Amino acid sequence: MDGRGGIRAELVERLISVQFPQWNGLAVTPVEHEGHDNRTYRLGDELAVRLPTAADYAPAVRKEGRWLPWLAPGLPVAIPTVLAVGVPGFGYPYPWSVRAWIQGEPADRAEIPDMTEFARATAEFVRALQSCDTAGAPAAGAHSFHRGGRPGHYDAQTRDCLARFADLVDVPAATAVWESALAAKRRGEPVWFHGDLVAGNLLVDNGKLTAVIDFGTCGVGDPACDLTFAWTALSGPGREVFRRTVDADAATWARARGWALWKALVTLDEGDPATLDRTRALIADILTDPVVPE
């Protein structure tokens, strides 16, 4: 094995041939765009193989296999269908899965003529997800990287970043936003959250939202983490429509803004020059956005 996560097409072919021989012989090809946590390959024309790249991401395989069929009937767009779960083999140490291929292009790369309608559709997905039955579902915790919990889990990391980025960030304003997030109390029962609702995990076909993928950090808890989408992917009328359609209270938005700030600071801490200006602009937007209700 070599490459990212030690995964190559040859490994996938061997795993399929031994564990799922009914799909042996189908072409294995890498997808054009994929995330960091998993490596994804097309398997023929109708299937995909998804393999975690590190131990921290492996628990998501069985979680998605268990809970995606539970969630799918209550959601307005497609989500992944897990057809089989594989076991470690040939030196690859984690469970992995075979899924139905979902047609579409990630929203961060797709042409979307009507961003207001896209924002509304995404908000409707969020509300539908929050309405799904939570009986027996996994509570927020380590498996969700504490998304769905309180943002205070990352208090030390956030304050450390602020202390080191005084030349890049308005630290007094950021500190005020962060402390407001910590102080904002959650009301109501836990609900389902996605946990990584970013444009790259939303699929678009003919300009419309058609699917949401990558539920690896999903669970039941505080949905504020999903509302960071308002800043990371939307602006202007689209952001306003998303906010109104989600219809969250001011405390939830305060926590959401804290989650957005934390993630942006973590991205800044990664030190990628290609994203520096964009991340600084995002942080400035998070700190000054007038859309957040008081």
DSSP secondary structure, the chain, as one string:
--SGGG--HHHHHHHHHHH-GGGTTS-EEE-SS--SSEEEEEETTTEEEEEESSGGGTHHHHHHHHHHHHHGGG-SSB---EEEEE--BTTB-S-EEEEE----EETTTS--S-HHHHHHHHHHHHHHHHHS--TTPPBSSGGGTTTTS-GGGGHHHHHHHHHH-TTTS-HHHHHHHHHHHHH----S--EEE-S---GGGEEEETTEEEEE---TT-EEE-GGGGGGHHHHT--HHHHHHHHHHHT--HHHHHHHHHHHHHHHHHHHHTT-GGGHHHHHHHHHHHHH-TTS--
Q: How much is the pTM?
A: 0.94
Per-residue model confidence as pLDDT tens digits over 105-117:
999 999 999 999 9
Report pLDDT digits (tens) over 108-159. 999 999 999 999 999 999 999 999 999 999 999 999 999 999 999 999 999 9
Whether the predicted pLDDT of 212 surpasses 60: yes
Q: Say what the pLDDT of residue 87 is.
A: 98
Q: What domains can you pick out in the chain, each with its CATH number? A: 4-101 (3.30.200.20), 106-288 (3.90.1200.10)
Band (36; pLDDT cuts 50, 70, 90): confident
Supply the pLDDT for residue 6: 64
pLDDT of residue 1: 45
Mean per-residue pLDDT over the chain, rounded: 95
